[in-house]
Structure 1
């Protein structure tokens, strides 16, 4: 039977397990893929802990397969699916988990993998890079403007700073000292996180910042709100909508479309976006991959690779 890495109830790492599962069958609007790579994201462990995405009212069925972004080869297509056929190499958003040998993808959030894009790189795009793309374009800053990114050293942050830089935007990135070299290699003005980081931002951007892309939330979001010239140019993927709206800003509006996936893939192929995969793990070490991200110390992207 196919293998998958799941969580059996809400909680910590102790709820995770490797299990044998039935091979899924695609429903209407779905494609079944043999997984070749799965991206690992903070949202994976947050969902395990009981986090619900905005608007999510469905009750979770356990065991629940971990993971949200997948690249693989189409095995079957569900009713009403057009544009995909068995053998197609694709990437997209998992319907019910991606740390597995097989996964279901929503066809309308799935795109064909360009030949120049590896499965591992493609698997980093549906959540992290697409979230970064949506947020940067939501802000709509002109070339020459200054963007502040908090939590700039993680998967979404690394993608966001590159997408902004490709648009001619100056980027100031807040992250730990261990991520300084990475961010500076991307043309970012690195500001160390920790007490007094806002004063360091003011020194790095004496004319103020034109936009804030927050990936941390909490106190960091509130501090960042005092740095942006126009509160409407404050967005977050790290805090609830009501929290950022009280500050005059907004949540990142996710397009969740194949068009965005194609756009970020094109950026990678063009050399404007490097997913910065720093660690890869086989499926049988999915627990280690998730610990790498859950620790908060991962630089760039962590990927689980599944043997073909």
Structure 2
């Protein structure tokens, strides 16, 4: 093998990945080169085409989950949950052909890899094929947020005939918007809470709108993580559903308290992506940034007041 060909082979065997070693916010993020790994049984390797930045990513980069003892990586912690890309290689038992466009998310905080990278190994059962007509940048904004919302609404189930009033906090946010739209499908009488500037968007989901918590709701889906304030808005004997990593609140006044932590589900995600592709559910992209500018993109996300996601592209 000539030196030039050997250099090309070595380059092809490496992949960039965004990580933090001593997490202290966006400035602590760096990109490193790691070897490309072959997929094992039931796994596939995705060549990342787009990866969204979520609020949970800011928490990891800022060290929040290290402080909570949820991360204990010896060298560095990988960043990123959501991804969309193409199948590059498959392990035994995986039938998806190379080049298939897929999307998904990886869960858990304690890992040295993430989706803010050029390549990613994932269980094949955790991904869904991206429908025609939906580009990878849009698809990358869907998996974590829509799956979390759908699993929350599944937990809610269908409402009793005499207790149908549901308040969704953070209804203009990525998770809250999906909760509002999906809960409406289950026959809940949904009111979305958001800032006045977001009224048109929230009403466009087909639900009512408010800027105040109000009181005596039959159920509250706390996508906005208002915690105790939102809990006080639930009527006696009602239901309160929060989302991890928010803490589980103690039960009182006969209120049933539940907490959702999103888990990958390829079949569920496939149904959600299909609805996004037809326009039934939103895909909201705020901006696109190159992976090389990951620290700047995190900083922009941390400034807040962003509707939609900043999406990284390798």
TM-score normalised to structure 1 length: 0.82
Per-residue Cα deviation, 1:58-114 (whole angstroms, up to 9, x for no partner): 7325333310011111111234x4232322211112372011111122222111121
CA distance in 2, matches of 1:215, 1:60: 29
Per-residue Cα deviation, 1:214-249 (whole angstroms, up to 9, x for no partner): 1243xx322222222365621011554542556630
CA gap 1:26/1:108 in 2 versus in 1, 3 angstroms: same
CA gap 1:182/1:290 in 2 versus in 1, 3 angstroms: farther
CA distance in 2, matches of 1:127, 1:213: 17
**Structure 1 gap segments, 5+ residues each:** 203-207
**Who is 2:181 aligned against?**
162
Say whether residues 1:221 and 2:227 are aligned partners.
yes
Please state whether the residue corresponding to 1:210 is helix, strand or coil: strand
Please state whether the residue corresponding to 1:215 is helix, strand or coil: coil
Cα-Cα RMSD:
2.8
CA gap 1:213/1:3 in 2 versus in 1, 3 angstroms: same
CA distance in 1, matches of 2:239, 2:272: 22
Q: Is the 8 A contact 2:130 2:139 kept in 1?
A: yes
**Structure 2 gap segments, 5+ residues each:** 1-13, 108-112
CA distance in 1, matches of 2:23, 2:251: 29
Please state whether the residue corresponding to 1:124 is helix, strand or coil: coil
Q: Is the 8 A contact 1:216 1:239 kept in 2?
A: no
Say whether residues 1:243 and 2:253 are aligned partners.
no
Q: CA deviation at 1:24?
A: 3.3
CA distance in 1, matches of 2:73, 2:166: 37
Q: CA deviation at 1:51?
A: 4.3
Q: Residue 289 of structure 2: which of 281, 286, 296 is its match? A: 281
CA distance in 1, matches of 2:15, 2:122: 17
Q: Is the 8 A contact 1:113 1:122 kept in 2?
A: yes
CA distance in 1, matches of 2:267, 2:26: 35
User: What is the aligned length?
Assistant: 291
Q: Residue 297 of structure 1: which of 288, 296, 305 is its match? A: 305
**Who is 2:8 aligned against?**
none
Q: Residue 154 of structure 2: which of 125, 131, 137 is its match? A: 137
1:28-107 equivalent positions in 2, closer than 5 A: 28-52=41-65, 59-79=72-92, 81-94=93-106, 96-107=113-124
CA distance in 1, matches of 2:69, 2:270: 26
Q: CA deviation at 1:56?
A: 8.9
CA gap 1:233/1:113 in 2 versus in 1, 3 angstroms: same
TM-score normalised to structure 2 length: 0.81
1:185-264 equivalent positions in 2, closer than 5 A: 185-192=204-211, 197-198=212-213, 201-202=214-215, 208-217=216-225, 220-229=226-235, 233-238=239-244, 240-243=246-249, 248-252=256-260, 254-264=262-272
CA gap 1:271/1:230 in 2 versus in 1, 3 angstroms: farther
**Which one has a bigger Cα radius of gyration?**
2
Q: Residue 2 of structure 1: which of 2, 6, 15 is its match? A: 15
Per-residue Cα deviation, 1:15-56 (whole angstroms, up to 9, x for no partner): 111333322332443211111111211111112234449x99
